[in-house]
Chains A and B, each alone.
Chain A
Amino acid sequence: DTGVSQDPRHKITKRGQNVTFRCDPISEHNRLYWYRQTLGQGPEFLTYFQNEAQLEKSRLLSDRFSAERPKGSFSTLEIQRTEQGDSAMYLCASSINRGESSYEQYFGPGTRLTVT
Chain B
Amino acid sequence: GAVVSQHPSWVICKSGTSVKIECRSLDFQATTMFWYRQFPKQSLMLMATSNEGSKATYEQGVEKDKFLINHASLTLSTLTVTSAHPEDSSFYICSARSPGSGANVLTFGAGSRLTVL
Real binding pair: no
Residues of chain B touching chain A, judged by Cβ–Cβ distance below 8 Å, are none
